[in-house]
Structure 1
């Protein structure tokens, strides 16, 4: 019996080689001895059946390469897969068309379940419908909380980004901020747009929005620096991710600005920045938990028919504020690479 491929093996390299090998062994042994061959063939067949009984789950996200946030999502997914003895494949493409094609790859590969993100919900409708037609359950995670039901998804795990955005706006009021710059690093991403819209809705001060190219950190830094130089009244920069927040800290210094930096999302490096006061606070949506729950929910559905949230409500993983006063409680988990 061959060893199953590791979780990151691509779809096209995953093959059910166990039954073929079992048949070959059976035929060889049967040719040598009728009785012995029959027993050996039976054992090999049982081993093959055990191998094919393992669930195959695909996770397909809109992650960009090298983004620490998605490392945490993937790590959570892999932990659940190990617990449930699931064969997991993780793939991603920030381009909506590319992500949709990866979902179709998973369908063609005959997976037992698919977990995906809905950063661009319209692009996912057709592949989700195709999965349902193939009797493959689909759950959502991270982005698309306003679209998962209309897109026909079974369950959703993530943060209500509108609620999180409004909470940030209220937090800025409490911190006496007057002029916030909300920076979006991926135009058209519904989750990021909802965050900034939420900030604008609840924040009583002035609120501006800036679009940057999130695939180029130098460009992000330059754009934020230029904007701060152009408008010295900006006293708060709100970023959409941990790595972007750390870039914004540098941009503030380069601009000679007195603006503070706050952000959505968290990682180990940002924990240090919150501790030092370089970043005022972070909104933690627990990406590790999102990845874990998405995979585990598919296993539960396939093995026991369970549906988290009853199929009518999302399972919320955030928002939670991480500030200088409570960051110590999170630090040990961030050091383990799970927050």
Structure 2
């Protein structure tokens, strides 16, 4: 492969419990050899990026073999519910918590509470909010994710081509998606300056809302030569619109939803730019485990696990990798071990995260 994230009573919580055997106690600076109780709190069970991170977190817990990992999320993005899940994890997961949040500022107080309880925390996918002592962020460069998609686009559009390129943003205001748009737009403006960029338009994040939003966007911009999304669901909706309308246009997106992978295979998406979410979940939980087992502090800074471009050249390999949890684990085993074993190659100062 060529490699270059309601009310509490009404939400269904996805959870993973991995129980081991043994006992032991530990704290800051003390090795712990018994069972660890860890948490992984993520944004929603309904979208592929967040599912991928949970798969990676589960795999890291399984490698240790003596971990209870409680991974939970709302069914649908719901910040207040996720805050309650984090507060619950503070009570049930004293050995460490990984947090993937789409609205990090909502989590300042519970993250401070975790620190006051001597529970280490790792921010996953989005940097930790100011005002906390969470000093480790495991997440890719979203600017690079956007640039990679832009570089794939210009391969499909000859120099000098005029026309409109429409961009959608599934969660307006979310910094990591805005970084992807910045990277994507910068490549288009530099390499194909004759193109007119329209948007970003709000394409919504939940599946049905996303399809309806893109359907309206495409109808309102019928002359565009390309439609580009920076969220996972965009890569599902755009091929479906092509199929239902009979129109053919360039479409690209990010993340690795199974339906989007099939669309790359059949040519209705020219590429996907993947933030490699599985690795983020794996690295975060693995580092929490390592710190507890060795009695060391967590490393500090920005840990960037990298970006993958998926196109016609490697789609078969990626689909094989993404077939199920076992295939993911088998593919990522060596890469994940290499990353966790060589922190100096992946860590940068936290303020450099982009």
- TM-score category of the 2 structures, normalised to the smaller one: 0.7 to 0.9
Bigger Cα Rg: 1
Structure 2 residue corresponding to 1:67, chosen from 47, 54, 74: 47
| Aligned counterpart in structure 2 of residue 153 of structure 1, from 120, 126, 134 | 134
Cα offset for 1:102?
A: 1.5
Q: Does 1:169 align with 2:187?
A: no
Please report how far the alpha carbon of residue 140 of structure 1 lies from its aligned counterpart in structure 2 after TM superposition: 1.5
Q: State the TM-score, normalized to the length of structure 2.
A: 0.74
Q: Which residue of 2 aligns with 1:108?
A: 91
Deviation per CA, 1:268-309: give whole Å up to 9, x if none. Answer: 43332212111110112222211111111100111225567x
Residue from 174, 177, 183 that aligns with 1:192: 177
- Alignment partner for residue 16 of structure 2, among 8, 15, 22? 8
TM norm structure 1: 0.77
Shift of the alpha carbon at 1:332? 1.9
Highest RCO, 1 vs 2 (Cα 8 Å, sep ≥ 6):
2
Q: How far apart are the structure 2 equivalents of 1:202 and 1:150?
A: 34
Extract unaligned runs of 5+ from structure 1: 1-5, 19-46
Match of 2:220 in 1: 230
* CA–CA separation in structure 2 for the residues paired with 1:120 and 1:296: 24
**Aligned-residue offset at 1:135:** 0.7
Contact persistence 2:47–2:232 (CA under 8 A): no
Aligned length, in residue pairs: 294
Encode CA deviations 1:52-86: one digit per residue, 9 max, x unaligned: 931110001112x3323322222221111112121
Contiguous gaps of at least 5 residues in structure 2: 1-13, 26-31, 190-194, 332-354
Q: Distance in 2 between matches of 1:326 and 1:213?
A: 29
- Paired with 1:223 and 1:124, the residues of 2 have a C-alpha distance of 29
Deviations 1:222-260 (A, max 9, x none): 321222222223222222344431221122344554321
- Which residue of the partner structure matches residue 200 of structure 2? 209
Is the Cα–Cα contact under 8 Å of residues 108 and 132 in structure 2 kept in the other structure?
Answer: yes
Structure with greater proportional helix content:
1
Which stretch of structure 1 is more off in the superposition, 105-114 or 131-140? 105-114
